[in-house]
Structure 1
């Protein structure tokens, strides 16, 4: 599997034994996905271009639960004979090559921590909270008092910007608390491009693939946001995270800013 490690990272790591060890660890972890931490819908997607025979073998001998997910994605033929042991070994070794591994040991940005260090229920609460904060910024009369206390009164430009995101979610047809969570994920998709590509893919695998596809379709398809927009989105994420944490609805606090390691400078 190809990883995100580039020539410049290798050159920097060669001058630093500790950095070289970090590089080796990251390569190992990126190249081997932890299937227990990947949503089953991504496993189904990884198999979508494989032959029916390969899908049947992986469903029968692969990760627990995948066999139940695959039939719902199009059905599987019943194998007429047991697979050859050598073929089985190759299939089980290669079918997941499109999936990405990662490590919680690195000092990741808050958006990555939000996706990888929370349970599914906590993640839903957090992204819904992010959506509620952005909705408050979009409203003419303002939202809950605690939002204005943290972020101040939004400028007309900020209100128009936030309302544009809220309108995009409304056009998707998702409403209510699910709409708020989808609006929160728009913030995630603004912050994620600033992260390393493989780290971003690793984090997104924690969410159901249909939700990722839906959020990607709603998020603005543009170049990387300006530093000012990224700062505002980061503040929105932190405001919602602190609120959910204060209410006791998430176990992981917002991560404090960390110094960048030598191989990330």
Structure 2
């Protein structure tokens, strides 16, 4: 589905050859995922609906470590003859079609930057710091009843989802990420989520399920929480990159 922002880019592209080339490049990038930036659990998920023969073929010729993940469904079948070269080429070219590609952009929103340009340990620190702020807001630290109620609902949802301990606080922080991602371009949001293990994404979605519309005040609050957590970690030297400038989520 073409979004409003997509339509605006297309309109500008037809009036500007350079913009048209940038649009073409973005579409090419989105159609071909960089597997080095996709968590292996998403690769395994991309093969769930494929035939046993396709899964076995990709397991033996695809990214390292994928075969181990796929063994949870049982050992792959052994083919009785080598695959046809043309069919093999098609399989290896198309099995990632459920994944989203793309590249970093100067105008990426902070939530996209926080998910895609941090190391795994930095990302865990960031979303755990966000979760700690959210937990504080749910208590006496909330500046208003509305903020306390919002934070309290997230804390309760995290507990109901079985999210406890340090990992649970990080999952609570990802609820903020999900709300901010709802304001981003769908392809960019999907590309960012592919950096996180798919089971964690599913659990985080149970805390902050997607909604058709999010109140602007909620988006602004979540953006402030993310920035506060980010700035704290940056001042402590626990995250390498600064919070991106600008007011977008």
**Same fold by TM-score, threshold 0.5 exceeded?**
yes
Partner SS for 2:156: helix
**Could you tell me which residue of structure 2 aligns to residue 87 of structure 1?**
87
Shift of 1:222: 3.1
**Could you tell me which residue of structure 1 aligns to residue 232 of structure 2?**
243
- Decide which moves more: 118-127 or 221-230: 221-230
- TM-score, normalisation: structure 2: 0.93
Runs of at least 5 residues in structure 2 that lack an aligned partner in the other structure:
none
The C-alpha deviation readout for 1:3-47, integer Å capped at 9, x for no partner, is 978444322211123322221221111111001110000000100
In the alignment, is the contact (CA less than 8 A) between 1:3 and 1:30 conserved in 2? no
**Could you tell me which residue of structure 2 aligns to residue 225 of structure 1?**
214
Q: CA RMSD in A?
A: 1.9
Shift of 1:74: 4.2
Partner SS for 1:76: coil
Structure 1: 4+ residue segments shifted above 6 A: 2-5
Bigger RCO of structures 1 and 2 (CA < 8 A, at least 6 apart): 1
- Partners of 2:73 and 2:196 lie apart in 1 by 17
1:15–1:62: structure 2 CA closer, same or farther, 3 Å change rule?
same
Shift of 1:258: 7.6
**Matched residue count:** 247
1:7–1:138: structure 2 CA closer, same or farther, 3 Å change rule?
closer
Runs of at least 5 residues in structure 1 that lack an aligned partner in the other structure:
143-152, 260-265
* 1:139-178 → structure 2 map (5 Å cutoff): 139-140=139-140, 142=141, 154-178=143-167
In the alignment, is the contact (CA less than 8 A) between 1:138 and 1:160 conserved in 2? yes
**Could you tell me which residue of structure 2 aligns to residue 147 of structure 1?**
none
1:3–1:42: structure 2 CA closer, same or farther, 3 Å change rule?
farther
The C-alpha deviation readout for 1:50-79, integer Å capped at 9, x for no partner, is 000000000111112211221124442233
Shift of 1:220: 4.2
- TM-score, normalisation: structure 1: 0.88
**Could you tell me which residue of structure 1 aligns to residue 39 of structure 2?**
39
Partner SS for 1:194: coil
